[in-house]
Amino acid sequence: MVVADDQALVRMGLRVLLEAEDDVELVGEACDGAEAVRVVRTVRPDVVLMDVRMPVMDGLEALRRIAGDEELSGTRVVVLTTFELDEYVFEALRAGASGFLIKDEDPAQMLAAVRVAAQGEALLSPSVTRRVVSAFTSRAPQRGEVPRLESLTEREREVVGLVGEGLSNEEIAGRLVVSPATARTHVSRSMVKLGARDRAQLVVFAFRAGLVR
């Protein structure tokens, strides 16, 4: 994985944390967005922990370039923020981030996030996801034309709305009184129909489409 942050102390702390784990390999570091893009294109990591606010090129632009590069389709970017209501969080999700973490997150949670992202899943901090996304969606609504909405069944629309609320597959299963396997199937089919890269993009879609209650 790669760590991109302009603060040397933050990079050092993450390096110490990650290198202590047998199943995590730190293969690169960057101190600004432009360097992050160069490093990621060179080493092609599974996961990038990316600070939003960096010099030369900010984390959002670096994220867009990484997410828009077909050769890096296997790389997942998790955005690091300082505050729960960081003004860039929603834009980061729209740009292709697989999730976000607060910088002072518990180390165990940070490591869990890296592993979740490496498996191709989205990491959306449960305690703040709904509040963050709804706050910035209401501030700058994106509910105009929503592509491929008509391709979803009624049940799939319901499931996408629940994903937008921050519910896990197990919680969706409980809400709809179906098996977790059925919930996973609905989520997976919705992602395919909508061309969503991961669960984080489903959250953005749910708010844009007005599917969140």
Q: How many CB atoms lie within 10 A of CB 195?
A: 11
Give start-end residues of each CATH 3.40.50.2300 domain in the chain.
2-136
Return the pLDDT at 141: 46
Fold classification of 144-208 (topology level): Arc Repressor Mutant, subunit A (1.10.10)
Fold classification of 2-136 (topology level): Rossmann fold (3.40.50)
Q: What is the end-to-end Cα distance of the chain in Å, rounded?
A: 37
Give start-end residues of each CATH 1.10.10.10 domain in the chain.
144-208
For the segment 74-127, what is each residue's pLDDT rounded down to a tens digit?
Answer: 898 988 877 655 566 767 777 888 877 877 778 887 888 788 778 766 666 544
Return the pLDDT at 119: 75
Residues of the chain with pLDDT under 50: 126-127, 140-141, 143-144
